[in-house]
Structure 1
Amino acid sequence: MNHPALSNTIRPQARGGDSSIGGLLLESGKITPENAERVLRMQKELGIRFGEAAQRLGLITEADIQQVLARQFDYPYLQQGQGKYSARLLAAYQPFSPQVEVLRAIRSQLMLRWFALGRKSLVIMGVDSGDGASLFAANLAVVFSQLGEHTLLVDANLRTPSQHQIFDLKNKQGLSDVLAGRADLDAIAKIDEFVDLHILEAGTLPPNPQELLSRTAFTDLNARLESHFDVVLYDAASLSAGSDALAIAARAGGVLLVTRRNETLVADLNAASEQLSQIGADVVGSVMVEF
């Protein structure tokens, strides 16, 4: 899953605002009020749609039209050059690409096989370091938010966190600080560019991540998060990095394993599944990424 960097963004239409194509194009700065008058004259003369008239006048592109249409239907995404997120956040920049279609198919399977059963937490975990689990978790969180689910992505990798880099956050207080009693849920950041996406960064890197994640404080925190959100995704360190992920999985209850094409060994995948089953965690499925 790959692509570039970002600053203006289309946000969901405020309730009571003008949700017409023309209104959205004006609000987003794609056309000026003066140009809007030109568009309206052509629209009236030719009997065509506003967006088509604006395109004929060379004021906007087809990509602009697609973006405001997405906004009309509460499915915002970003164009290249917008925002400050990782270019590899394909669900944000290329929502109609084949890779993101696969993500949506995975989302559907997870909704049916896990979240529809009343479960709210799921751990995204690589079998080996470098399997791309963090980037996959970030993209999956975006597509869940695009579905309208109240979504939280928790960077529970307290060794080598990366969600603050993917989403251009400051990585100040986060999960470790909440578990240590030095912060509360106000450490959760809302990502305004998407329908309903929130991020809890890893926070201060602790010297004892496994012990911190094994405390009852994590169990209590997970229950609080589940009471606030529809979907809670934990980006955990890979099993090869230590037992941190097992502590998280035991509390969340379910795991989606991420493997890498031509890299992850079947024996390692089977061993990971066995370890998870021994602690009572359900392996909801596995996905293979390629990069």
Structure 2
Amino acid sequence: MGRPKNEGRKSRANIPWIITKFAPKSFFSEQYRSIRTNIQFSKGNQSFRSITITSPNSGEGKSTVSSNLAVVFAQLGKKVLLVDSDMRKPVQHKIFRLSNAIGMSNVLSKQFSIISSIQETGINGLSVLTSGPNPHNPSELIASETMEEFLLAVYDYYDLVLFDTPPLMAVSDSQLLASITDASILVLRSESTEIKEAIQAVDVLLMAKGKFIGTILNKKRFPNINRLKYYVY
């Protein structure tokens, strides 16, 4: 698989969301590096090529976590592909300021090739496949053979593929992806995610064929640490 090209489309990351790029020495960025280390330790003798990142509900920070994790893995020198597989309410094209005219929905419906659809971010080693136009059948596209063919194709080029997925309790897309990717992570929001919903979401991921490797608690309030209001760990 040849190196994907941006085809002239400009990209400029969104500074407030991608703190690991624009403030790599910050307390926030260090927390993402800690998460990266924990993910690497959780592998054991396995090799994670793909990870599904989801949350029980919307607004819990999974997309911000996905983009920052993609950056810190790329900072290790890895070739990383971040896929916005939320084909209902996508956000990665906004975070990285990319075009969403062509993306995952086009690839899975075989309208465009993978190479012509992936965009560069301006961050060394990190590419993004945006969601593309909203299809009428996102769950069916993810469950299709084309999805598995897509994974096999990108494995030939990228060291790690991260999937930013829809909320787990809302639709089946995330569970489907968790079943075909190597691992899954659940993002929870402090003082927001209900314990009952968190437990239900963990149970769903544990039933998937992929390995559930843990949760990330987002937006935990620590008002006395360097005057920072929130951090992620």
Do both proteins adopt the same fold according to a TM-score greater than 0.5, normalized to the shorter chain? yes
**2:161 is equivalent to residue 232 of structure 1:** yes
The equivalences for 1:252-263 within 5 A come to: 252-263=181-192
Unaligned runs of 5+ in 2: 1-11, 220-229
Whether contact under 8 Å (2:180, 2:209) holds in the other structure is no
Give the number of aligned pairs.
209
1:111 to 25, 40, 47: 40
Task: Compare CA radii of gyration and give the structure with the larger one.
Answer: 1
The equivalences for 1:1-291 within 5 A come to: 83=12, 85-114=14-43, 117-186=46-115, 187-192=117-122, 194-290=123-219
For residues 99 and 214 of structure 1, what CA distance do their matches in structure 2 show?
A: 36
For residues 84 and 257 of structure 1, what CA distance do their matches in structure 2 show?
A: 24
Question: SS of the counterpart of 2:29?
Answer: helix
- AA partner of residue 191 (structure 1): T
> Hey, which of these two has a bigger chunk of strand by percent?
2
Instruction: Assess, with a 3 A threshold, how the Cα gap between structure 1 residues 115 and 171 changes in structure 2: closer, same or farther.
Output: farther
Instruction: Assess, with a 3 A threshold, how the Cα gap between structure 1 residues 275 and 252 changes in structure 2: closer, same or farther.
Output: same
Question: SS of the counterpart of 2:169?
Answer: helix
Query: TM-score, normalised to structure 1's length?
Result: 0.69
Task: State, as a whole percentage, how many aligned pairs show the same letter.
Answer: 30
Question: SS of the counterpart of 1:284?
Answer: strand
What is the CA distance between 1:86 and its match in structure 2?
4.1
- AA partner of residue 66 (structure 2): A
What is the CA distance between 1:165 and its match in structure 2?
0.2
Unaligned runs of 5+ in 1: 1-82
For residues 243 and 213 of structure 1, what CA distance do their matches in structure 2 show?
A: 10
What is the CA distance between 1:281 and its match in structure 2?
2.7
Whether contact under 8 Å (2:49, 2:182) holds in the other structure is no
For residues 182 and 147 of structure 2, what CA distance do their matches in structure 1 show?
A: 13
What is the CA distance between 1:113 and its match in structure 2?
1.5
- AA partner of residue 19 (structure 2): L
Whether contact under 8 Å (1:122, 1:232) holds in the other structure is yes
Q: Deviations over 1:83-107 (max 9, x none)?
A: 4524221111111111110100110
Q: Deviations over 1:21-43 (max 9, x none)?
A: xxxxxxxxxxxxxxxxxxxxxxx
Question: SS of the counterpart of 2:156?
Answer: helix
Q: Deviations over 1:99-136 (max 9, x none)?
A: 11010011011122138622200011011111010011
**Alpha carbon RMSD of aligned pairs, Å?**
1.6
Q: Deviations over 1:206-257 (max 9, x none)?
A: 0111111111110111111112100100000011221111111111131110
Q: Deviations over 1:60-104 (max 9, x none)?
A: xxxxxxxxxxxxxxxxxxxxxxx4524221111111111110100
Question: SS of the counterpart of 1:228?
Answer: coil
Whether contact under 8 Å (2:169, 2:201) holds in the other structure is no
